[in-house]
């Protein structure tokens, strides 16, 4: 895997596109080809949970092999005193519960566990692996690229999972703005884990809400994500990129995951 890592470091944007495509390919293979439909009455979302657990494990393996577990924000709490910066995103997520939650207790619990694993999987791959690959572009361009790739990836819902095109386009737009703010938060906090919780709960509350939020509220949320993300990048972006600086192995006998800070030029 070292040649692929070297390629990603030399060509961060192309590398990020390749990593995104690879992640979606693995997800689709397990969701549509490898795993049988799994929806037992006691846990209707079993299949979706297993797909996200498997994909998250794959991302973890790549990060471990490349020595990026900590610098990507995946194997570290980052700066716990800044976890509060994710609170506005959590409040937005909770706003979708105003109309209540729909479904039986089994469906609600199953959906919550499954969507929290979606948060783990998607934050590890997007704000962890892909954002780390895009680090050399600088905080603003990296966050924009993360947003575009994350939003564009949701086209799979139309192509492979039967969602209507108009709904999918709105999902792509919403995911793009959400991904932009999460990318900025990762730079500010130095960890993906606050966003994992926000991501899973945001998906859960929107899906289990008995009705769609008004269009004016959705537009307000997009504007908030953009403004808050820009503020976070201007306030913490440079610091976040510095703390996520590329690492290299210190010697030929070093095991995967052992890191040393690069101090010289690339």
> What is the rounded distance in angstroms from the CA atom of residue 135 to the CA atom of residue 82?
21
The parent domain of residue 206 ranges over 2-261
Give φ, ψ of 247 to 5 degrees: -115, 155
CA nearest 239: which of 135, 84, 147, 146? 135
Contact 148, 164 (CB under 8 A): no
- What does the DSSP assignment read for 208-261? HSSSPPPHHHHHHHHHHHHHHHHHHHHHHHHHHHHHT--EE-SSTTPPTT--EE
CA nearest 221: which of 167, 176, 169, 157? 176
The predicted-structure confidence for 76-92, as pLDDT tens digits, reads as follows 999 999 999 999 999 99
Secondary structure of residue 126 in the 3-state scheme: helix
The predicted-structure confidence for 9-35, as pLDDT tens digits, reads as follows 999 999 999 999 999 999 999 999 999
pTM of the full predicted structure? 0.90
Model confidence at 249: pLDDT above 80: no
Please check whether residue 187 lies inside any domain of the structure: yes
Please check whether residue 266 lies inside any domain of the structure: no
> What is the rounded distance in angstroms from the CA atom of residue 50 to the CA atom of residue 42?
15
Please check whether residue 70 lies inside any domain of the structure: yes
Please check whether residue 110 lies inside any domain of the structure: yes
Please check whether residue 34 lies inside any domain of the structure: yes
Give φ, ψ of 217 to 5 degrees: -70, -40
The predicted-structure confidence for 43-61, as pLDDT tens digits, reads as follows 999 999 999 999 999 999 9
| 51: number of Cβ within 10 Å | 24
Model confidence at 112: pLDDT above 90: yes
Residue 22 corresponds to which tokens in the numbers above?
A: 């690879």
Contact 131, 186 (CB under 8 A): yes
pLDDT at 252: 36
pLDDT at 204: 97
Tally the domains of the chain.
1
* 37, 40, 44, 49 alpha-carbon torsion, rounded to 10°: -60
pLDDT at 239: 81
């Amino acid at each position: 895997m070292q040649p692929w890592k070297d390629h990603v470091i030399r060509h961060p944007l192309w590398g990020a596109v390749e990593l995104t495509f690879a992640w979606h390919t693995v997800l689709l293979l397990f969701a549509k080809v490898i795993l049988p439909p799994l929806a037992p009455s006691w846990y209707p979302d079993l299949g979706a949970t297993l797909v996200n657990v498997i994909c998250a494990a794959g991302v973890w393996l790549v990060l471990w092999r490349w020595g990026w577990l900590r610098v990507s924000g995946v194997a570290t709490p980052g700066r716990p005193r800044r976890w509060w910066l994710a609170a506005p995103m959590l409040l937005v997520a909770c706003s979708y519960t105003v109309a209540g939650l729909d479904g039986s207790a089994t469906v609600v619990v199953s959906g919550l566990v499954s969507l929290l694993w979606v948060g783990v999987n998607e934050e590890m791959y997007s704000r962890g692996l892909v954002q780390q690959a895009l680090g050399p572009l600088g905080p603003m361009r990296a966050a924009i690229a993360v947003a575009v790739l994350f939003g564009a990836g949701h086209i799979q819902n139309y192509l492979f999972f039967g969602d209507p095109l108009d709904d999918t386009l709105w999902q792509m737009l919403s995911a793009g703005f959400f991904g932009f703010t999460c990318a900025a938060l990762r730079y500010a906090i130095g960890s993906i884990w606050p966003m994992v919780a926000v991501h899973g709960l945001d998906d859960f509350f929107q899906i289990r809400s008995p009705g769609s939020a008004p269009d004016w509220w959705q537009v307000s949320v997009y504007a908030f994500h953009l403004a808050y993300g820009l503020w976070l990048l201007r306030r913490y972006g440079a610091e976040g990129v510095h703390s996520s600086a590329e690492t290299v192995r210190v010697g030929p006998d070093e095991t995967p995951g052992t890191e040393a800070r690069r101090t010289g030029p690339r």
